[in-house]
Structure 1
């Protein structure tokens, strides 16, 4: 994850929940969030959400992009790209534009591909 500018010429680092940290509640961020600890609750991030290999999330995730290496039991809405790394264990529902699932990742649940291509295909199916 990278530093980003807040518009005032200042750069900020991503929010990090470190290994050994447990959080219950809701996280809202204008930037990126990385979870290496345990979160029960919701994440709303305008940037990327990274769940590290030791990270665990139980709840909801709303973000631009996500990269999962840990354990997630959640409903996720990802505007752009979802990546499940080989060590990922995901249970739940993902709504995303694009998804990449590496060999070794465990996925149990539902994936809904959103975007103009999917919407167009649904509309053409209804017409015919």
Structure 2
């Protein structure tokens, strides 16, 4: 389900951090973000975040929804769904409304599914 939804969301991408790019510091955006490179610091988007299989992120992350195939060291706060693929490696706590974990994904941290705290200026979308 999320894959088709993800494909639709990818068309609205505002920022791509390519495989040869390293970002250090705080990164804040309103649009969809794809990370294929390295991010060190804080990463916040009010929309969808995709972390590719070759990406390495050392950051506190806040997003509306997230698809993670790479490595993350830091806590994830996601309002809606987090999808972890088999190649995902998470070292940190995950707070989300929904979580999908593919066989093989590695998580070293706590998972809280009682709803993520509100991201500043954002509310979880409902199907109503």
Matches within 5 A, 1:43-122: 43-115=43-115
TM superposition shift of 1:27: 1.1
The structure that is strand-richer by fraction is: 1
C-alpha distance in structure 2 between counterparts of 1:83 and 1:91, whole Å: 15
Question: Greater relative contact order: 1 or 2 (C-alpha under 8 angstroms, separation 6 or more)?
Answer: 2
Across the aligned residues of Structure 1 and Structure 2, the Cα RMSD in angstroms comes to: 0.9
SS of 1:53's partner is: coil
Q: TM-score, normalised by structure 2?
A: 0.80
Q: Does 1:2 align with 2:25?
A: no
Q: Deviations for 1:46-100, whole angstroms, at most 9, x for unmatched residues?
A: 1111100101100110010000000001111100000100111111001100000
For structure 1, the residue ranges without an aligned partner over 5 or more in a row are 4-12, 116-128
For structure 2, the residue ranges without an aligned partner over 5 or more in a row are 1-9, 116-128
Q: TM-score, normalised by structure 1?
A: 0.80
C-alpha distance in structure 1 between counterparts of 2:23 and 2:69, whole Å: 19
- Greater Cα radius of gyration, structure 1 or 2: 1
C-alpha distance in structure 2 between counterparts of 1:92 and 1:77, whole Å: 10
